Amino acid sequence: MITQIAPCPLCQTPAARATLPHGGGYLYFCPDCGGRFELGMIAQVRADRGEMHPDVVTSVRRLIADGKRPRVEFDVAAANNPFSVSPLPSSEDSTAGCP
């Protein structure tokens, strides 16, 4: 994976970002948020528009602190908070890509 520097979609500080294979979104490494997390493609588009739900930041940081790699998705059918944050299974939680 090729890594570039981009604003973290959660806190806007500079972060390392790599494109996940097969259009799976992006892998971020943000020191201010505590580590690595993934963002699905639709969630990335919504984050780029400034539409990130505030609960996402707390959820992602909590999972990172628990030693898990979170993935943020966006569900267009969800009403109140269309963003979901879930930990990746440990087999998918590789350290390849971002620092």
pTM of the model: 0.85
- Beta strands 14-19 and 3-7 are antiparallel
pLDDT tens digits for the chain (99 residues)?
689 999 999 999 999 999 998 889 999 999 999 999 999 999 999 999 998 888 999 999 999 999 999 999 998 877 777 899 999 997 554 445 556
